[in-house]
Amino acid sequence: MPKVTVYSTQNCPYCRMVKAFLDRQGVKYMSFDVGTDKEQAKKMIEVSGQYGVPVVTVDDEVIVGFDVRRLTELFGKEDGGDLYDVLIIGAGPAGLTAGVYCARKMLKTVIVSENIGGQAIESWAIENYMGYRMVTGDDLMRKFEEQARENNIRLELDRVLTLDRTGNDFLANTFTGLGIRARSVILAQGKHPKSLGIEGEGRYLGRGLSVCATCDGPLFRDKIVAVVGAGNSALQTALEMSRIAKEVHLIVRSTLKCDESYTKRYESVKNIITHMNATISKLQGNNVLTGITIKDRSSGKETDLVLDGVFLQIGWIPNTDFLEGLVNMNDDKEVIIDIDCKTSVPGIFAAGDVTNIKTKQIITAAGEGAKAALSAHEYLTG
């Protein structure tokens, strides 16, 4: 057996998924928490050049992030199953809730998702989900996952590349080569983070530039960081990082667009420096990010900031590329649904942030997932 090492942080959901994948495949590995172990953090950076987790080493090979395809190539995969009643794409609040409701209706169900928890797992603290005064996104989604697994639902960590109708059924082809057939489909694959769209962005991702503060935040203890964004996620990230980092620069494109509860807390924090009406015009550094240039949108004046890390919280884009030409979408590439979560194609339903519903919240996504499952059951039973 190869020597496998996993470098992770305590609150990183993608790290947990890597370990769950290896456990499922019966792979033995060593695990180090680089958020608390400075020596192992230094070793991880030396080996991979990364300031982001997870990092997996398999003998001399370095795997950055939760790379499902490479891990599957190394450690094997399950074959595609028989015909399913329902294929659910996505395992966030909408997808996992849909899975539980489908299972309760005795529908043979498979969930295919790149991760478990979707956008919710990146929330530092959730204070508006009924039944909890406060819960982290990772903890809440772990409860969702436990309930889904208790209902004997097949869960594949994979990415759907194509979805087509074949006769009366649907066929999904995945990143790792699975072909999954189902009588109905529930789309619940959510969204992915927006990028800055400036030169060098890809080069610095994981090397000072991060889209998951809950994953990478502990690596920037006592350092200087920036948070880009103006909404609840950006303010929450700035507040949490202010407890970890020495100094936090909050870069806001126009004005703050967050709940008053976040604003009140933010105004009392001394080590958050806010740059209003500003954008990042340049990323600086060689192998790792060492600074940024911000531009005042009114005057055009540019200012250089020396820092160690940047966390992006600038919005999300629907994961709907593989649906082009299959279902109707709006100008924002969100799937258009009716009140019963039906799309323009009979047998395909959708729920959560991937749809055109106005409210993008965990609690509404879960409710829409339940509705989609009940509509799928009605469709299948005639």
pLDDT in tens, 158-172: 889 999 998 999 999
Q: Under CATH, which number does the domain 201-312 receive?
A: 3.50.50.60
pLDDT confidence bin for 10, thresholds 50/70/90: confident
How do residues 93-127 score in pLDDT, each as one tens digit?
999 999 999 999 999 999 999 888 888 887 877 88
The closest alpha carbon to 185, from 175, 171, 173, 197, belongs to 171
Give the separation between CA 130 and CA 367, rounded to whole angstroms: 12
Q: What is the pTM of this model?
A: 0.79
Q: How many Cβ atoms from other residues are within 10 Å of residue 283's Cβ?
A: 20
pLDDT score for 5? 97
Going by the DSSP 8-state scheme, the letter that residue 123 receives in this structure is: -
- Say if residue 117 is exposed, middle or buried (CB neighbours under 10 Å; 0-12, 13-18, 19+): buried
* CA gap 373, 39 in Å, rounded: 48
Please write the tens of the pLDDT for every residue from 218-235.
Answer: 999 999 999 999 998 899
- What residue spans define the domains of the chain? 4-75, 84-193+316-380, 201-312
CATH of 84-193+316-380, one of 3.10.20.600, 2.30.110.10, 3.50.50.60, 3.30.1360.70: 3.50.50.60
Say if CB 43 and CB 219 are below 8 A apart: no
Task: Tell which residue, 144, 310, 319, has the closest CA to residue 212.
Answer: 310
Check residue 191 and give its pLDDT: 93
Q: Which two tokens stand for residue 118?
A: 């979707």
pLDDT tens by residue, 336-348: 999 999 999 999 9
Strands 154-157 and 30-33: unpaired
Confidence of residue 81 (pLDDT cuts 50, 70, 90): low
d(CA 305, CA 160): 40
Residues acting as catalytic residues: 212, 215-216
Tens of pLDDT, residues 131-160? 998 898 889 999 999 999 899 899 988 889
Q: Are 188 and 92 in contact (CB under 8 A)?
A: yes
Q: Which CATH architecture has domain 4-75?
A: 3-Layer(aba) Sandwich (3.40)
Alpha-carbon gap, residue 208 to 309, rounded angstroms: 4
| Same fold yes or no, 4-75 and 201-312 | no
Per-residue pLDDT at 79: 54
Residues facing residue 12 across a β-bridge: none
